[in-house]
A and B are shown apart, each in its own frame.
Chain A
């Protein structure tokens, strides 16, 4: 079964199988030394840029701002959920998330980024 992964509403939501699952404005603690100078970035998610799937793990690249230091940048691939038996399950995004750098990614991003307005 294929999973429909899309970015909707001008980058405001990740939609999985026609249901909005993850939204902008979440605050993520990122262990991502390349993102900013902080030990742990405290990231406000402002825009979803790309979504992809690596095995069962749904990953996104987002644009956002570290509210501890003010850096605005784009992340590597951040895991946000898993597809288990065809259904999306959240990864606990209140705990520390570890992105993969964009270059190390194997999978091709879903091209279906959509906007509205």
Chain B
């Protein structure tokens, strides 16, 4: 039997949701019939709107999908202006203030406290500037990711940016692909650094060479069925297909249609294509694609460049794109660290000005929640880097600042078990003050997700933290499970969950003790990931050693049961009324 969501989708879904959204915006939030809320909130996601959690009735998270994280000149300013004008609500964040934008792990942008009545005006402004929320959430093609400096990167093997643009134009708003069994996440990477993180997407195109008629042709190998959610992480599987850049849309559309027709619509837990690949095997995926979904002969896989991958691998150069890097055209791109991906609206506007003044005005977003200013001429680099804004968004941050990624958490997300972003900021600051890594270790990735959905991609970090609960002195407190040694690269590896339910206030001490043991017991020059690799879970569990320190955690209580964790009066009965229509 199809699920409720499938029934709702078969009634109204895709582009047509927009007219209803605008009608509700016009008539007011209360015009949504009480017995249709679950249905409409599910549908609104397709247009990038996610109802915030209990206690924040009538407020929405809005996700703007920026393909490959590219913000064309002027677009960052538009985002800053919208954040400034509309992304404020009854709650003030003690670290980030009142209006801010979140840069996400899939190169998108999220705004919070959006009211339904403002949606038409926001859409109008976004769309007038070439931006959109279409299919940013919901069961369809999500924002396409890749190496954020595609088209400019000296390490690029094949031009991915033109491919991504074409996929985006083809599959955003295409009714044939607008109602899939579940989300569909695509990555197209053209560089040899692995920064598109294809392995954790439903569909990945990765650079590869194929010998055709005696000549080496550059194109992409295809992998299918990656994803991190629900305690069932999978890396995408090699389906033994190589494709020319111009044939990517046909193969991608074929696979999305294959998923549309064969994915499980009766059980949403089993719906992602990763489970279909489990069931069928890569070979059957390939055969079905060939026989039913493309009308040309597929090539077998070509020679990939995976052994050159560095991004998020835990060793070597270029684990992220922070810092100053030369572009192919001799100009520079500068990766700036945005701690947990959140930037105040005023800073967003300042950054937009600096990008204009020193670069082309273009800005790009990475999958490590950071921003990159492109096209800075060499002669202007020193002045650019001396700008005071970069004291807070540094191109040369401490490893603990640089390595921090955190999801939304109980602040807004209805799934979360614990507070995340502000906690990760406190963790990073404490670690920076109190812990030294061995001198030759320059990067250390700590990812914090509030639940098993894994939006912060915890399983591919050195230290993975995931929201849990435990009792401490008899009281229920927020806790974190600790995993170690995850990373991407030629041979990607998920973190192993070695220590469970560490009360959140003991986590910084646990990480400090772990790093002490690593420093004391590592082989010469050994990376943390390699160190974890050669130890048993029980040995690692012993290294973790939770401990109270002078770190204080103001959010140890059950933040899920508050209407807003940082409010003075945070109880559900103090929740604000739904916003009035204005």
A binding-site residues for B, Cβ under 8 Å: 4, 6, 8-13, 15, 17-20, 23-25, 27, 42, 44, 46, 65, 67, 70, 111-117
Asked if B401 CB lies within 8 Å of chain A CBs, one says no
Is B471 a contact partner of A115 (Cβ separation < 8 A)?
Answer: no
By Cβ-Cβ distance, the 4 closest A-B pairs, closest first, are A115-B268, A112-B4, A25-B417, A18-B37
- Cβ A20 vs Cβ B469 within 8 A: no
**B54 to chain A: closest residue by CB:** A20
Instruction: Please measure, in the bound complex, the distance between the C-alpha atom of A12 and the C-alpha atom of B229, giving whole angstroms.
Output: 13
A20-B414, A111-B3 given. 10 additional CB < 8 A pairs?
A9-B414, A12-B414, A18-B34, A20-B54, A23-B560, A25-B417, A25-B467, A27-B476, A112-B4, A114-B38
Q: Which residue of A lies closest to B501 (CB)?
A: A67
- Whether the Cβ atoms of B4 and A11 lie closer than 8 Å is no
- With contact pairs A67-B470, A115-B269 given, residues A10 and B415 touching in the complex (Cβ less than 8 Å): yes
Give bound CA distance, A8 to B405, whole Å: 26
Of all chain B residues, which has the CB nearest A21?
B54
Complex contact B452–A46 (CB within 8 A): yes
In the bound complex, what is the Cα–Cα distance between A77 and B271 (angstroms)?
A: 25
Q: Please, which residue of chain A has its CB at the minimum distance from the CB of B33?
A: A18
On chain A, the residues within 8 Å of B267 by CB distance are 113
Q: Could you pull out 5 A-B pairs where Cβ atoms are within 8 angstroms?
A: A6-B38, A9-B415, A44-B469, A116-B50, A117-B183
Which chain B residue lies CB-closest to A111? B1
Contacts of B501 in A (CB 8 A): 67
Complex Cα spacing A115 to B229, Å? 12
Residues of A within 8 A of B37 (CB): 18-19
Report how far A4 CA is from B452 CA in the complex, Å. Answer: 26
For the complex, is B35 an interface residue (Cβ under 8 Å from A)? yes
Residue B42 lies at the interface, judged by CB distance under 8 Å to chain A: yes
Which DSSP category, helix, strand, loop or mixed, fits chain B's interface?
Answer: mixed
Chain B nearest Cβ from A11, distance in angstroms: 7
Q: Which residues of A contact B415 (CB under 8 A)?
A: 9-10, 12, 24
Q: Are B453 and A10 touching (Cβ within 8 A)?
A: yes
Closest Cβ of chain B to A1, distance in Å, is 11
Task: Report A113 CB to chain B, min CB distance, Å.
Answer: 6
Which residue from chain A places its CB closest to the CB of B455 in the assembled complex?
A117
Cβ distance B263 to chain A, nearest Cβ, rounded Å: 13
Interface size class of B (residues with CB under 8 A): 35 or more
Q: Which parts of B228-244 form the interface with A (CB within 8 Å)?
A: 229-230
B19 within 8 A of A: no
Q: Once the chains bind, are A11 and B269 in contact (CB under 8 Å)?
A: yes
Complex Cα gap A114–B415 (Å): 13
What's the least CB distance linking B226 to chain A, in Å? 15
Q: Which of B372-425 contact A (CB under 8 A)?
A: 414-415, 417
A59 and B414 alpha carbons, distance in the complex (Å): 21
Q: How far is the CB of A97 from chain B (nearest CB, A)?
A: 15
Tell me the smallest distance from the CB of B441 to a CB of chain A, in Å.
32
| CB closest chain-A residue, reference B418 | A25
Task: Closest A residue to B2 by CB, please name it.
Answer: A111
With a cutoff of 8 Å between Cβ atoms, the chain A residues found around residue B414 in the complex are 8-9, 12-13, 20, 23
The listed residue (B3, B417, B453, B467) touching A112 by CB distance below 8 A is B3
| Residue B513 interfacial (CB < 8 Å) | no
How far apart sit A58 and B54, CA to CA, in the bound complex (Å)? Answer: 20
Q: Which residues of A contact B271 (CB under 8 A)?
A: 115
A15 touches B38 (CB 8 A): yes
| Contact call A114/B268, Cβ cutoff below 8 A | yes
* Inter-chain contacts of A6 with B (CB < 8 A): 4, 38
Instruction: Kindly state the separation between the CA atoms of A10 and B417 in the bound complex, as whole angstroms.
Output: 13
Are A117 and B3 within 8 A (Cβ)?
no
Instruction: Given the known inter-chain contacts A25-B417, A117-B183, please indicate yes or no for A67 contacting B469, CB distance below 8 A.
Output: yes
Chain B 259-290 interface mask (CB, 8 Å, partner A; 1/0):
00000000111010000000000000000000
Question: Does chain A have a CB within 8 A of B468?
Answer: yes
A114 touches B471 (CB 8 A): no
Which of B1, B453, B558 contacts A117 (CB under 8 A)? Answer: B453
Closest to B45 in A: A116
A12 to B415, CA, bound (A): 5
Compute how far the CA of A17 lies from the CA of B1 in the bound complex, rounded to whole angstroms: 21
With an 8 A cutoff between CB atoms, is B168 at the interface? no
A114 touches B4 (CB 8 A): yes
The yes or no answer to B500 lying at the interface (CB within 8 A) is: yes
